[in-house]
Structure 1
Amino acid sequence: MIVIIGTGAGGGILARELAEDGEDVTVLEKGPYINSKDAFNYYDKYSNDVDLLTTTCIGGSTIVSMSNMVRALESELLDYGIDLTGEYEYVENLIGVHPLDDSHIGKGTEAFLDAGHELGLQTLKMPKAINEEKCIQCGKCAFGCPVDAKFSGKDFVDEAVEYGATLICEADVKEVLVENNNVCGVKYVKNNREEFIKADKVILSAGAIGSALILRKSGILNAGEEIFFDPFVTVGGFLKDIGFNTEVQMAGLVIGDNFVLSPHFSSFIRDNIDDSATDKDILSIMVKTFDECKGRVTDDGDVIKINTINDIRYLAEGAATAGFILQKAGVDPKTIGSTVYRGAHPGGTAKIGEIVNSNLETNIGNLFVCDASVLPVSPGKPPILTILALSKRLADYLKK
């Protein structure tokens, strides 16, 4: 019996690959099974000091992601003997990764791409896993797709169940049970009752925070002593009737040395403009950078984050560049402002080379971790494709 904990980018594809191969698989998900369109109701709340975007429901944070699919940390992972070339190709074909069709590039994204190109920046369309035939261009990607046009881990979990896997939702895993330094089962709570399930192998894919807490309770006490997440702000301003709010979000990309930029709507930008502005008059850009992994997860599951000088410097550099792009695109420079600092894509709480080896196994036999926890450094880019590739690699290893 293989027990997989979590249904996001890591757990979903692991369940699919292993169940398709005939393995006896049980998937435990802390959150409920929901329709994708309702995902915005399941964002998590951390301490008042940290605004971190994660969700607890089927599909994990993939269900509210923009379905951005870029390769990340290729050279860094090679240092640990991990070459994902074949796995990247497999996953990209499986979920149909491609730059968004021109039919789904709106005026706001086109203005972003043209302005970036004119300024001499490295500008391209964002690779995505979106089915344009289903996509209705509503701009609600971050709320959960109302027509299931974009990939999420939920897709793979549904396939895994079709292949014979067992899915148990609203199962709050408390601990991995260990005997003679090997896993033997999992303890979880469902409907206020403590339940146990036997397991020969356990894979933690509960996210950087969830996996760290389970590892600690299972005896790996140094999990979660560090954490990174991609710091980001959204910078934007007034551009009459641009209509960017209903476009596919983050369909373009500018790559800087220390940051990435992507067009991303935020209604909070309207607070910086007079009352005449509506959502359709806003053009805005997400500024995202990597951080230096200073922070930790508390035993209560809160996140304490420390920002270094470089973290702030890189974010400021990206915000200034976003301002130049916006002005070149026609935004009134007197209206340009920013949202508050936030974070996305937490990881690094169970790093390769520290908590897990190159096969993602801990020092407890047959206990594996496969989610953003294992990433050795902050990618500063969307990590979903990298996690999917690592999960494919782990699935193939376990099949052997």
Structure 2
Amino acid sequence: MKKFIIVGSGAGGATVARELAKKGKNVTLIEKGPYTKIKDAFKHYENAEVGVELLKTSCVGGTTLVTAGNAVRTCQEQLKNIGIDLEDHFKEIEIEMGVSTLPDSHFGPGTKLIMDKAESLGFKTQKMPKFINHETCKPCGKCTFGCPRDSKWTSRKYVDEAVDFGAKVIDNTAITEIIIKNGELRGVKSKDKEFLADCVVLSAGGIGTPRILNRSGIDAGNNLFVDTFVTVGGILGKIDFNTEVTMNALITLDDVILSPHYSGILNNKLMKFNVSKGDIIGLMIKIADEPSGTVLENSVKKYSTSNDVSLLAKGSAVAGAILTEAGVDPTTLTSTPARGAHPGGTAAIGQVIDKNLETELSNLFVADASVFPKAPGAPPVLTIVALARRLGKYLGNEF
């Protein structure tokens, strides 16, 4: 029987592993980080300062454990234009993941106020689609720390299903490179061990995947984007916004999105006003940043272009207007530094991989945000899962 190795257990890797295991394939899923309790996922952040602060985690389930549970389709039309139609995959995974907007009972006063005032100023506002089970969710503001009630879809669910179908999971093992002999793929290696396979799928993320590819002689790591964002906020006494479901609404501009968002960084900045967490309200401004970064062996370089800065300023001005209309004292408005949560583009379709997500080395595939041809400027989980599901079904039929 052919052996498959999947490197990384986030949205892409877990999905491919599950699809292959369902078909009875011999699957081994290898994860750099540990198998941790979902509620403890915040302990495994591996943030890095790369010009903007880059947020990511390493554990079984990856960054899906600390997402806000947002379920928006991204890059669908662009991918369709290059021959990748994900419509049926989106439809099926949205049912599986329980994608829907949350009921009114799960909208706190801060989010409701932001939505109301944004609409009164003429901005397009809607509820954010979520893969959160409202029946078990009790709003607590901890989505991005690791849901204490496991009410949010995470790729751990797919990992567990893959195991039920016979897949093997190896954690705490960082894969360093691909094993190639006589020009053919033979498996992967960590620092002290080799794992043989007939087919390998890299899902180590927008930073990890290109590093493995480069060490294996495949040019990757250019055109890095991170979906740059800032959070603008200020003081609105006793709103208790910090306990609400984060990013529960979406405000769409032409090239910027805004969403209600509490950040502890704002709390630190506003302490001079002698306020508590419950007195702070904020809006995230997220852009599709230009691919101005590069992933190197021992560093990552990323800078914000003049266009990126202009878009962030535009979004911040709108956020300030909405928050002021909501009653925030404008003299307290402040912003976090620029950060990034969705690194990708570093093994892009049409540059490093083909439409089947295969590299120039036969039987070596990629399934994570590194394959995106451009920054989505919005949460990418749903699209990563759709691409990985498509790949898993392709591999299941081909091998």
| Structure 1 length-normalised TM | 0.96
Offset at residue 273 of structure 1 (A): 5.7
Q: Which moved more, 1:173-182 or 1:120-129?
A: 173-182
Q: Give the secondary structure class of the aligned counterpart of 2:226.
A: strand
Residue of structure 2 equivalent to 1:4: 6
Distance 1:323 1:340 in 2: 16
Matched, 1:34 2:36: yes
Residue of structure 2 equivalent to 1:312: 309
Residue of structure 2 equivalent to 1:262: 259
Matched, 1:357 2:359: no
Asked whether the 8 Å contact 1:237–1:273 carries over to 2, the reply is no
Offset at residue 180 of structure 1 (A): 3.8
Distance 2:339 2:319 in 1: 17
Residue of structure 2 equivalent to 1:46: 48
The 5 A counterparts of 1:1-400 are: 1-47=3-49, 49-189=51-191, 194-220=192-218, 222-270=219-267, 271-272=269-270, 274-300=272-298, 302-400=299-397
Distance 1:66 1:181 in 2: 42
Distance 1:200 1:57 in 2: 25
Offset at residue 78 of structure 1 (A): 1.7
Asked whether the 8 Å contact 2:349–2:373 carries over to 1, the reply is yes
Q: Give the secondary structure class of the aligned counterpart of 2:375.
A: coil
Cα displacement string for residues 50-87 of structure 1 (whole angstroms, at most 9, x for unaligned residues): 41000111111111110101001112112220111001
Distance 1:112 1:214 in 2: 43
Distance 1:177 1:283 in 2: 50
Offset at residue 323 of structure 1 (A): 0.7
Distance 2:356 2:326 in 1: 47
| Larger proportion of strand | 1
Distance 1:51 1:79 in 2: 32
Distance 1:134 1:182 in 2: 49
Asked whether the 8 Å contact 1:36–1:144 carries over to 2, the reply is yes
Cα displacement string for residues 229-279 of structure 1 (whole angstroms, at most 9, x for unaligned residues): 111110011111111100110000001111100001012223236433111
Asked whether the 8 Å contact 2:356–2:391 carries over to 1, the reply is yes
Structure 1 unmatched ranges of 5 or more: none
Amino acid across the alignment from 1:272: L
Structure 2 unmatched ranges of 5 or more: none
**Percent identity (aligned):** 48
Amino acid across the alignment from 2:76: E
Distance 2:47 2:330 in 1: 34
Aligned length: 394
Cα displacement string for residues 304-358 of structure 1 (whole angstroms, at most 9, x for unaligned residues): 1122110000010001111111112221112111111111100000000000000
Distance 2:376 2:270 in 1: 31
Distance 1:19 1:291 in 2: 36
Distance 1:306 1:265 in 2: 25
Asked whether the 8 Å contact 2:19–2:396 carries over to 1, the reply is no
Offset at residue 182 of structure 1 (A): 2.9
Offset at residue 48 of structure 1 (A): 6.4
| Structure 2 length-normalised TM | 0.96
Asked whether the 8 Å contact 1:6–1:27 carries over to 2, the reply is yes
Runs of 4 or more off by more than 6 Å in structure 1?
none
Distance 2:143 2:246 in 1: 7
